[in-house]
Amino acid sequence: MGPRLHGDDYMVGANAAMLMMVVKRMLIAVPSLIGVVIVTFLLTRALPGDPAAYFAGPAATNEAIEQIRVKLGLDRPLYVQFIRYVGDLARGDLGNSLTTGQPVGYEIKTRLPASAELTLLGLMVSMAIAVPLGILAATRPNSVIDHVCRVVSTAGVSLPVFFTGLILIYVFYYLLGWAPAPLGRLDVFFSPPPHVTGFYLVDSLIAGDGEVFFSSLKQLVLPALTLGIFSLAPIARMTRASMLAVLASDFVRTARASGLTPFTVIVTYAFRNAMLPVITTLGMVFSFLLGANVLVEKVFAWPGIGSFAVEALIASDFAPLQGFVLTMAVMYVVLNLLIDVLYGLIDPRVRIEA
177 binding another protein? (CB under 8 A): yes
Minimum CB separation of residue 237 from another protein in Å reads 22
Minimum CB separation of residue 68 from another protein in Å reads 6
Q: Determine which residue in the list 95, 122, 134, 182 makes contact with another protein, applying CB under 8 A.
A: 182
Name the E strands within 179-249: none
Residue number with CB closer to another protein (150 or 218): 218
Residues 173, 222 contacting (CB under 8 angstroms): yes
Instruction: Give the binding range for another protein (CB under 8 A) out of 132-140, 244-252, 254-262, 341-349.
Output: 341-349
3-state secondary structure of 45: helix
* Residues 112-151, mask of contacts with another protein (x by CB under 8 A): ------------x---------------------------
Q: Determine which residue in the list 7, 92, 101, 259 makes contact with another protein, applying CB under 8 A.
A: 101
Minimum CB separation of residue 150 from another protein in Å reads 26
Angle between helices 104-139 and 305-314 (to 10 degrees): 120
Q: HSE on the CB side for 53, CA within 13 Å?
A: 5
Residues 293, 165 contacting (CB under 8 angstroms): no
Contacts with 194 (C-beta within 8 Å, 6 or more apart), sequence order:
203, 206, 207
Q: Determine the Cα–Cα distance for residues 164 and 218; give it in Å rounded to an integer.
A: 18
3-state secondary structure of 143: coil
Q: Determine which residue in the list 164, 316, 322, 327 makes contact with another protein, applying CB under 8 A.
A: 316
- Phi and psi, residue 348, nearest 5°: -60, -20
Task: Return the closest-CA partner of residue 212 out of 200, 224, 225, 222.
Answer: 200
Minimum CB separation of residue 201 from another protein in Å reads 8
Window 187 to 216, contacts with another protein (CB under 8 A): 188-189, 205, 208, 210-211, 213-214
Residue number with CB closer to another protein (145 or 311): 311
Window 222 to 261, contacts with another protein (CB under 8 A): none
* Residues 154-173, mask of contacts with another protein (x by CB under 8 A): ------------x--xx--x
Q: Determine the Cα–Cα distance for residues 128 and 194; give it in Å rounded to an integer.
A: 30
Residue number with CB closer to another protein (29 or 300): 300
Q: Determine the Cα–Cα distance for residues 298 and 306; give it in Å rounded to an integer.
A: 8
Task: Return the closest-CA partner of residue 348 out of 23, 13, 24.
Answer: 13
Residue number with CB closer to another protein (55 or 230): 55
Beta bridge partners of 96: 103
Task: Return the closest-CA partner of residue 25 out of 299, 336, 302, 315.
Answer: 336
Q: Determine the Cα–Cα distance for residues 162 and 244; give it in Å rounded to an integer.
A: 33
Q: Determine which residue in the list 65, 159, 260, 339 makes contact with another protein, applying CB under 8 A.
A: 65
Instruction: Give the binding range for another protein (CB under 8 A) out of 75-83, 132-140, 224-232, 342-350.
Output: 342-350
Instruction: Give the binding range for another protein (CB under 8 A) out of 45-53, 76-84, 223-231, 256-264.
Output: 45-53
Residue number with CB closer to another protein (40 or 146): 40
Instruction: Give the binding range for another protein (CB under 8 A) out of 97-105, 137-145, 150-158, 321-329.
Output: 97-105
Q: Determine the Cα–Cα distance for residues 258 and 248; give it in Å rounded to an integer.
A: 16
Q: How far apart are the first and last CA of the chain?
A: 21
92 binding another protein? (CB under 8 A): no
20 binding another protein? (CB under 8 A): no
Radius of gyration (Cα) for the chain, nearest Å?
24
Instruction: List interacting residues with another protein (CB under 8 A).
Output: 8, 11, 47-51, 53-65, 67-68, 71-72, 97-102, 107, 110, 124, 166, 169-170, 173-174, 177, 181-184, 188-189, 205, 208, 210-211, 213-214, 272, 298-301, 303, 307-308, 311, 314-316, 345-346, 348
